[in-house]
Amino acid sequence: MINKNRLVSQFKKMVEFDSETYHERELADYLTEELKELGFEVWEDDAGIRLKECVAGYGSQTPAGNLYGFLKGTADAPPILLSAHMDTVRPGIGKRAVEDENGVITSEGDTVLGADDLSGIAAILEAVRVAKEQDLSCPDIEVLFPVAEENYGKGSQLLDYSRIRSKQAYVFDLSGEIGLAATAAPTLISFEIRVKGRNAHAGFCPELGINAIEIGAHAIAQVKQGWVDEETTVNIGRISGGKQTNIVSDECIALGEIRSLKDHRAMEELEKLRDIFEQTAARFQGSVELKYEKQIEAYEIGEEEEVVKRFRKVCKELHLKAETRYTLGGSDNNHFVRNGIRGIVVACGMNEVHTPKEFTTVKQLEKSAALALGLITADSKTIQQKV
């Protein structure tokens, strides 16, 4: 039932839009017209205007916001939300899709492809087209194409969730075989630790200084990094400090992140960091300032919940191997769940993401579109095909 040629053609067309994070305007305009053509009521919010990083890159052009569409259904069933984000990571300017004889689609090698997350958008659009063409019975369908997902879901974090009617969501934004879904995701805390010392001439009177870099080094050496338990990671990914080689450094900055499937564990590791740095700084008569931001919050969706059971039912009907697991990556779904929408993140044909080696395949795109179609028509029992 999926129109393979149309699906692949639309995916390739969307790849050519330059839609790096905070620069989704052209793609948003294109998708607005596509949704209207499919009969959706379309609304775009002001998230782009509210995101300072977005405004700075646009000049006089209005930056894109989160794009929402509502399509009235015919089935007497609860509404369903399908979502995929509009932005891509860098390098994403001048993307072109190249398909080989085996149906593998890549970029030309100097940019990402953007299958993360254009494969998800393509699958959703094709599924709705088929449902309308075949006059299939569907519940009310909501689609949401957020901006700025690649920056901790900053776009969906600003969404007015009172507009969303659905209590179940399927977020097409995961690597892996079609049939894989993430039902748990972490809290992610980003932090900045600023160690303060005292400068002095390093050659004439170093004893008058307090070396902030030395304090930072002693503290970092005490921090357990990597896996600190089976579901929590800690990483200090960047350090900087000092002004010149002949000056005792009066400042050292350490940047990093903490991820955990348990929110309280992430906060515990943050407090451990604080204690280590403060105690170390006190020994050297320095001081510490810690700033942090909880970018996303952990969630877990149970196997007995309807959103998972529906997913497994559709996979079975499509002869896809259904598998659920946790991920330590975040997505818009973290914000959905926090706002009362029980969602899962499903694989949609993205591989080696965030690199110029990124690829998808025609077969994966077909399977993903069939899955989306099955999810919006599951109540009508019309989808019975092998993909």
Paired sense of beta strands 359-361 and 187-196, if any: unpaired
The 10 Å CB-count burial string (b at 16+, else e) for 138-150 is bbbbbbbbbbbbb
Give the active site residue among 44, 87, 126, 150. Answer: 87
Q: Is there a contact between 147 and 64 (Cβ–Cβ < 8 Å)?
A: yes
Distance between CA 147 and CA 85 in Å, rounded?
6
Determine whether 275 is an active site residue.
Answer: no
What residues contact 289, with CB distance under 8 A and at least 6 apart? 193, 194, 196
Distance between CA 319 and CA 178 in Å, rounded?
11
The encoded tokens of residue 45 equal 């919010």
Q: Is there a contact between 372 and 170 (Cβ–Cβ < 8 Å)?
A: yes
- Longest Cα separation, the chain: 84
Paired sense of beta strands 141-145 and 80-83, if any: parallel
Paired sense of beta strands 359-361 and 104-106, if any: antiparallel
Residue 238: count of CB within 10 angstroms of its CB: 10
Distance between CA 184 and CA 325 in Å, rounded?
7
Of 295, 275, 282, the C-alpha closest to 193 is: 275
Determine whether 306 is an active site residue.
Answer: no
3-state secondary structure of 127: helix
3-state percent breakdown (helix, strand, coil) of the chain, nearest 5: 35, 25, 40
Give the active site residue among 20, 117, 140, 149. Answer: 149
What residues are annotated to the active site?
87, 149
